[in-house]
Structure 1
């Protein structure tokens, strides 16, 4: 049965994590878990990031423009023009509307994440760096597992996806929060829950996802905008990912090349604990003050899972 929950909510900031039993305001200093993954993306080149467990996608396939290339060169590192001394990771994608000349980009970190608090500081862009505007480009931060078979019940995926030119049923720019139970590509069938928030997010944004007590809570800049339940709760370990790709159902009718990018300042995960967006920020500030550019004390999943960077 196709479950398609469209929940266009106006509850931003009106619900608190405590309403469902989360201890979301516990100070980081009192956190019980020592299992943390943090990366400040203070790298010069991708090979440096690989040493800390990051990998790039190279397999063709879903999503995006069919037979497009997944592009290692789309991952780069740059000085932050707004913060002298800071470095950001850039995710770049480009297309002229053809598969041959389309480049999607994805970067992934080990398949060992499930319950806890996920967060990233991401710079979204509403317009291309060059070329005609209007493509349905998707700029993301998410966690995902392999789909072992069509409609596999043990599939898990949790997404933040920003569509600056709309798509997926809305012509306006929107941030989607989507939690997946499962899907199949042919015929296209999905079992998920999603919400979207219509507002330009041009610039820096802090994204936080709390996963605990059979509930998922998605925050944008400290405001709760989506809550999903047990029917789409993750069952298996996932990798942490960022990617950028083009929806082939909404492309500009032009053969001119256009290029988009979004930047990532940092990513953070704490295992088996729910902490508030404010305390995520405090945790990152504490790590940076301690000159910690990268930390990973999250243990491998048992049994250890093969690293995953696809879909």
Structure 2
């Protein structure tokens, strides 16, 4: 099943998982009106330019600082739009990050949506890579999908963060084997480095298209990959504060939780991650199967973007950086 996802559409993926009632459910959902999506946020990432991307509430990170290699830039230069991708429904957005091992030659990439999300179900179809587009392999690189709130002060007890992080070359003191890390944060401080979280490491390659699902409740957080539950974290770390939706691609510095950092080379290298779509339904916990049904319904209605999740008034500040 891991490899078949790389080429299957949402519909064929659902059928291959044995969703016998998928076509009937899809047809029923396709008849839903726009008014039936008040709690739904969905984006197909079918953009062709940054202006339309920004107009739907997304922005690229430009703030410097944690995480990643010290002195690196964060820039929209690493974002590109790819309507030509055949294995994405209407194309995808791509993050491209580069490094030659130092802060002055490293560009990290991140983009985020408004800070207005808390309990409910989050999902995204992403394409992970195990090797660089060019240059030497081996950097401890992090490819992600996550939600996060600002850290108001060190060890802020209301801090909230829910992470999928794929490390194709290892990191955080583990060996160099590829692994998916899921982490739910209660809080942390940078100096001295102190963390309060629960995490799960699932070793193995996750290269290719993956369906990532997170369900967030007051008493637990669950993580699924391709329909399979891979971790559950407790109420001790469950989010308490409104969060933004984020994707980023960055390089781990040496010393971060025992990490070895960049490989010993001054040759430039680039890693990429693609995102086909993102979905959220507020205050409702649904299964990965139901996520696929809802996404297929939205696609059948030719809905490329919908935002039915209400903002606070006034809207909360939504920095991409910490």
Which TM-score applies when normalising by structure 2? 0.85
List structure 1 runs of 4+ shifted beyond 2 angstroms.
27-30, 79-86, 301-304
**Does structure 1 conserve the Cα–Cα contact (< 8 Å) formed by 2:119 and 2:218?**
no
Partner of 1:288: 299
Distance apart, 1:100 and its partner CA: 0.7
Distance apart, 1:82 and its partner CA: 3.2
Distance apart, 1:33 and its partner CA: 6.9
RMSD of Structure 2 on Structure 1 (CA): 1.6
Structure 2 residue corresponding to 1:274, chosen from 272, 275, 285: 285
Structure 2 residue corresponding to 1:131, chosen from 135, 146, 169: 135
- 1:49-88 alignment runs, 5 A limit: 49-83=53-87, 86-88=90-92
Q: Which moved more, 1:124-133 or 1:81-90?
A: 81-90
For structure 2, the 5+ residue unaligned runs are: 1-24, 255-260
1:83-140 deviation digits (Å, cap 9, x = unpaired): 3872100011000011111000000000000000000000000000000000000000
- 1:216-255 alignment runs, 5 A limit: 216-249=221-254, 250-255=261-266
Taking the aligned partners of 1:293 and 1:179, their CA distance within structure 2 comes to 30
Q: Which has the higher strand share?
A: 1
Partner of 1:96: 100
SS at match of 2:93: strand
**Does structure 1 conserve the Cα–Cα contact (< 8 Å) formed by 2:126 and 2:209?**
yes
SS at match of 1:60: coil
For structure 1, the 5+ residue unaligned runs are: 1-26
**Distance change >3 Å, CA 128–CA 176, structure 1 → 2:** same
**Does structure 1 conserve the Cα–Cα contact (< 8 Å) formed by 2:145 and 2:164?**
yes
SS at match of 2:94: strand
Which TM-score applies when normalising by structure 1? 0.88
Taking the aligned partners of 1:180 and 1:303, their CA distance within structure 2 comes to 26
SS at match of 1:232: coil
SS at match of 2:113: strand
SS at match of 2:302: coil
Distance apart, 1:303 and its partner CA: 5.4
**Distance change >3 Å, CA 77–CA 98, structure 1 → 2:** same
1:178-208 deviation digits (Å, cap 9, x = unpaired): 0000000000000000001111111000000
SS at match of 2:187: strand
**Does structure 2 conserve the Cα–Cα contact (< 8 Å) formed by 1:33 and 1:271?**
no
Distance apart, 1:80 and its partner CA: 4.7
SS at match of 1:92: strand
Structure 2 residue corresponding to 1:195, chosen from 170, 191, 200: 200
Q: Which has the higher helix share?
A: 2
1:9-37 deviation digits (Å, cap 9, x = unpaired): xxxxxxxxxxxxxxxxxx7959x873110
Partner of 1:122: 126
Taking the aligned partners of 1:67 and 1:225, their CA distance within structure 2 comes to 35
Taking the aligned partners of 2:106 and 2:173, their CA distance within structure 1 comes to 23
**Does structure 1 conserve the Cα–Cα contact (< 8 Å) formed by 2:89 and 2:276?**
no
Q: Which moved more, 1:75-84 or 1:133-142?
A: 75-84
Residue 297 in 1 paired to residue 308 in 2?
A: yes
Distance apart, 1:301 and its partner CA: 2.8
Taking the aligned partners of 2:66 and 2:96, their CA distance within structure 1 comes to 18
Taking the aligned partners of 1:235 and 1:84, their CA distance within structure 2 comes to 34
